[in-house]
Structure 1
Amino acid sequence: METGNSTARAEELKAQANEAFKAHKYAQAIDLYSQAIELNGENAVYYANRAFAHTKLEEYGSAIQDASKAIEIDPKYSKGYYRRGAAHLAMGKFKEALKDFQQVKRICPNDPDATKKLKECEKAVMKLKFEEAISLPESERCSVADSIDYHTIEVEPQYSGARIEGDVVTLDFVKKMMEDFKNQKSLHKRYAFQIVLQIREMLRALPSLVDINVPEGKHFTVCGDVHGQYYDLLNIFELNGLPSEENPYLFNGDFVDRGSFSVEVILTLFAFKCMSPSAIHLARGNHESKSMNKIYGFEGEVRSKLSETFVELFAEVFCCLPLAHVINGKVFVVHGGLFSVDGVKLSDIRSIDRFCEPPEEGLMCELLWSDPQPIPGRGPSKRGVGLSFGADVTKRFLQENNLDLVVRSHEVKDEGYEIEHEGKLITVFSAPNYCDQMGNKGAFIRFEAPELKPDIVTFSAVPHPDVKPMAYANNFLRMFS
């Protein structure tokens, strides 16, 4: 009798999980699907649904595992392949995705939706193969930056936007540009080139690990992911003041992608740094990379608002971004997290050759991709890249490097932040109502020297013009969102 009961109870849990999913409560949905799986581990639907919820939380590694389990239980279950294909796609694994969609098509030969997605996937793989075929090896590539002389670019007399007089980016210029962006006007390509080329020189000269000194009595603000949410960035400046020598910021990676105002965000952050290098510090996130920008919208947006040359140029500049920062020798700030091995010293991070696309493994990859976990030790990453690390790993890293705190970003949090690992690790995320649907708050952290006690400020999303997130994303990915 018991099995009948538990089957019925599992179905109830699934129904509750579906409701939570519809309300964008994805973590809760995962929890409920997991309870249903506990009661009945032979139902492929529970795994496929949980895979979808993982996808929504960008936990593509877990999504692939769940979808594979669904397929194992029922090899003819098309949704299992479909979900796995979508997760492969989200990780930029087009060839694996293609195999999964071919299976979907085999199982449902007459489904127009499956046919359409397969066609798009084939197109994406063809494009990728073509790009690989024509691309030069790293050693033979010449820098696109070296081929641009912005001085020779004409500014038409009818252009009414912000202008840089001479070679100096001033606060007046930045303010005018921000106002233009706010009103959905664009910046002339000449000035965009000027800013991006200037920032490239500045970033190239920095070490991979940057030390920041905050004098006694002064403060310093750390922001997490902004993800192209320009109007929320303006709101941060409204709440906490514009970046300046007296009011310095660190933006901790993932400036672009997903949100459809990534060009405005990146040009604003870069312009502030040109204006005053010590007013703003910028760290690389996992989305400051070609493979992510191809999928999640930045590349398409740059093409649409600027040009093909800028796509190349931004990719080059992103490779110059530092990988981590240390504030007053005490607070370690990094986009993702810590390492798969013990004993990593700050000097090891300093000596990383960062001028490349992020590799699939190793220190640089882990800095950009890892996440904390509640249990001690290390585990596989839910994302399928990097790893998960426990409080013991955090504690040892801090002790060995004479540090007090790890601050990282990389994960959406309901309150905009989360304090974990016995207070030794803080996640800060600055894109409220992420992707216009997560309902989360955003946050930033203010540190005052010498104590550097973290003062966390949270804020809600503000309205923005009606351009949907992912508006410029890979066609193919948009089908799944």
Structure 2
Amino acid sequence: MAEPLANGSHSAQNDDDVLHARAESAKTAANQDFKDAHYQAAVEGYSMAILLDPTKAVYYANRAAAHIRLESFGSALADATKAIDLDPKYIKGYYRRADASLGMGKMKKALSDFKRAASVAPRDPDLRKKLLQCEREVKRIRFEEALAAPEEKPVAEEIDLSSMPVEDSYDGPMMEGSEDTGYMLTLDFVIAMLEQFKIQKTIHRRFAFHIIMQAREIFREAPSLVDVSIAQDAHITTCGDVHGQFYDLLNIFELNGLPSEDNPYLFNGDFVDRGSFSVEVILSLMAFKVLYPQHMHLARGNHESQGMNKLYGFEGEVKAKYNVMMANLFRETFCWLPLAHVLNGRVMVVHGGLFSKDGVTLDDIRRIDRYREPPEEGLMCELLWSDPQPGAGRAPSKRGVGVAFGPDVTRAFLEQNGLDLLVRSHEVKDKGYEVDHGGYCITVFSAPNYCDQMGNKGAFIRFNGATMTPQFTTFDSVPHPPVRAMAYASNIFGSMFGF
């Protein structure tokens, strides 16, 4: 009886060796995909390695790194925690979990993991650098919180444009009017402003504040859900995330024409952060909003929020190019941005997606009190943060915020509200767009080669009023001046994403 047992044991060992070898091969291929910035393919490769050998901490930690690049911080947190469970001395598990916490704005949790990793590997130079950076960031946040006083009145009421005279030395574009009569925004000024931005120059702070203040008043008058009518012989162009990629925004206008009463646009959130020309993007979009308030529509994204702007560069960029007061005015203005648009009563456009419960109506969205920073749960949070999933039902979000919703959830929502289609943004797509849920859910993303490293195309959608059938245009990225993405973010956030 001994011989068959020996043969069986040898066979089992051979099978294990084969599985381990296949797992390592899958990891090696996934590592190459990661280096090539094919992060979704890397996730799939590491998942195959885990399926073949679920005992290796490195597979989970590597998959966490790919999830981080895809901004799936909830999934990254889970993978990093699994890596630590498998090997409590594996410092990259703590690294990855700290990075995932950073991406979610949970600085104290990130600091805790960096400290735990340092206790395991006290001489690791990269770890010591990250620990020091995180400690500084936490101290900065605590300092700002200690200095912050409750706002007694809106920031806009503290701004006196007359205290910002245009100096004789200013050589940029001028609005029509004068200090005595006041200034007026015109199309000629906006076109000149785009040219000024193109050569990396700013406009005078007086004119920048003027644009933001006027846009703010228009947003204040808008409902949380805006109904947009498109005539039978007219159209509207819907764009997704732009993320501070000003030169790609100019390319959209080159391909599709400038916004006008005859060429309306809807930009679906995430105008700022990541890309380092966010000031130029948001001032351009707001200027067109002021020119054409009924034909230029802007929706709030999850990055139009104070927490995201502190982490991902916009606040730092505004302070560098203008001042703290303007950063505060942007924060206040973002809180007035609408949360959703419905086109011709048939297509709902939101930045993120749908909800963690059934039965939500368009009137429920209209009733949202949106003038606040986005909460961590509820309808407003889910409109800004949720993502579609291929499977039915709902699941925890891969981001750690919002919810993942399936095709049945999409169809039920559309049927209940008499809609044909859901359009959303919020996710990088290789082609710039993706059609999901049997054609009922479309993602559009308009920042090609996102962060100068993803290699994706951008896209926009045109809807004709007569049919409301989506027509897609895809485009590649265009060159921009040598300013890296995340240039105005804290060093610790730049390093997390490879900058």
Pairwise TM-score range, normalised by the shorter structure: over 0.9
Amino acid at match of 2:206: R
Deviations 1:302-341 (A, max 9, x none): 0110111111110000001000000011100000000000
How far did 1:174 drift? 0.2
* Structural RMSD (CA): 0.9
CA distance in 1, matches of 2:260, 2:152: 37
Aligned length: 479
**Corresponding residue SS for 1:352:** coil
Give the counterpart letter for 1:247 in structure 2: N
2:23 counterpart of 1:26: no
* Equivalent residue, structure 2, for 1:9: 22
User: What residue ranges of structure 1 are gaps of 5+ in the alignment?
Assistant: none
2:446 to 430, 441, 462: 430
Check whether the contact 1:223–1:445 (CA below 8 A) recurs between aligned residues: yes
Query: Are residue 328 (structure 1) and residue 344 (structure 2) matched?
Result: yes
Amino acid of the structure 1 residue aligned with 2:230: V
Q: Which residue of 1 aligns with 2:165?
A: 154
Structure with max Cα Rg: 2
Question: 3-state DSSP class of the match of 1:32?
Answer: helix
The superposition leaves residues 102-148 of structure 1 with CA deviations (integer Å, 9 ceiling, x where unpaired) of 011101111222111111111111122222233334xx532111011
With normalisation by structure 1, the TM-score equals 0.98
> Any idea what SS the aligned residue of 1:461 has?
coil
One-letter identity of the residue aligned with 1:329: G
For 1:422-476, what per-residue CA distance to the aligned partner results, in whole angstroms no more than 9, with x for missing partners? 1001100000011111111100000001211111111111100110100111222
SS in 2 for 1:479: helix
Counterpart of 2:222 (choices 206, 213, 216) is: 206
Task: Return the match for 1:448 from 435, 454, 464.
Answer: 464
Residue in 1 aligned with 2:6? none
- What residue is the counterpart of 1:141 in the other structure? 152
CA distance in 1, matches of 2:451, 2:323: 25
Letter in 2 for 1:287: H
Offset of residue 168 of structure 1: 2.3
Query: Sequence identity, in percent?
Result: 62
Return the alpha-carbon distance in structure 2 between the equivalents of residues 158 and 134 of structure 1: 36
Contact 1:223 1:250 in 2 (8 A): yes
Q: Distance in 1 between matches of 2:478 and 2:17?
A: 49
Matches of 1:350 and 1:343, distance apart in 2: 14
2:316 is paired with a residue of what secondary structure? helix
What is the aligned partner in structure 2 of residue 305 from structure 1? 321
> 1:16 & 1:453 partners in 2: Cα distance?
40
How many angstroms apart in 2 are the aligned matches of 1:141 and 1:36? 56
Paired position in structure 1 for 2:57: 44
- Note if contact 1:170-1:275 (Cα within 8 Å) is conserved in structure 2: yes
Counterpart position of 1:168: 184
CA displacement, residues 408-432 of structure 1 (integer Å, 9 cap, x when unaligned) = 0000000000001110011000000
Q: Which amino acid aligns with 1:46?
A: Y
Distance 2:245 2:235 in 1: 25
Deviation at 1:151, TM superposition (A): 2.6
Matched, 1:68 2:81: yes
Find the aligned partners of 1:279 and 1:368 in 2 and give their Cα distance: 23
Structure 2, unmatched stretches of 5+, are 1-13, 178-182
The aligned residue for residue 197 of structure 2 is 181
Q: Structure 1 residue 459 and structure 2 residue 496: aligned?
A: no
